Amino acid sequence: MGVSGEFWDPDGPGVLRLPSGRLVRGRALRRPLPDGPTPTYAVYLLGKQPPHVPWRAEWLRWPDFRLPGDRARAVEVLREAWERAARERVELACGGGRGRTGTALACLAVLDGVPAEDAVAYVRRDYDRHAVETPWQSRYVRRFGG
């Protein structure tokens, strides 16, 4: 996959292993940054602009319990996160680390080959059993990319 230390610890907090072997970390921004390596690229899923971080980060406007404001941009940003996860430490995060983060992780799972109708269950099993909090977030994943 790459030189040791370039990727997340597969057993680290919030780390999801996609079927391809890519590792992506989901987290709650309301909690302290976990110990260990920092992201090299992050996508922050928030209704308002996130605070500055010392790594490359994208802000995807996504209000709590809702869907992304710009669906086309969401596809672009999530596709870039998925592509970067093959060679970098990618983090997806929202306030609580479950609804928007779980939805975005499920979309990455779809990009990675998980059937869209199975992606929410995949993320709930391997990331957080409470991930993807609303029916419209689940529907968004089922329709993602298609």
Give the pLDDT of residue 56.
97
Residue-number span of the structural domain to which 90 is assigned: 15-143
Structural domain includes residue 86: yes
Give the pLDDT of residue 78.
98
Give the pLDDT of residue 1.
35
Structural domain includes residue 6: no
Give the pLDDT of residue 145.
64
Rounded Cα–Cα distance for residues 64 and 28 (Å): 12
Domain count, the chain: 1
Rounded Cα–Cα distance for residues 59 and 53 (Å): 11
Two structure tokens written together for 130: 């409470």
Two structure tokens written together for 142: 């089922």
Two structure tokens written together for 121: 């269950």
Structural domain includes residue 66: yes
Single pTM value for the model: 0.94
Structural domain includes residue 7: no
Structural domain includes residue 8: no
Express each pLDDT in 98-137 by its tens digit: 999 999 999 999 999 999 999 999 999 999 999 999 999 9
The domain spanning residue 79 has which CATH number?
A: 3.90.190.10
Q: Splitting the chain (146 residues) into consecutive groups of 10 residues, what average pLDDT does each group show?
A: 65 97 97 95 96 96 93 97 98 97 98 97 98 97 85
Structural domain includes residue 65: yes
Give the pLDDT of residue 146.
67
Structural domain includes residue 61: yes
Give the pLDDT of residue 3.
35
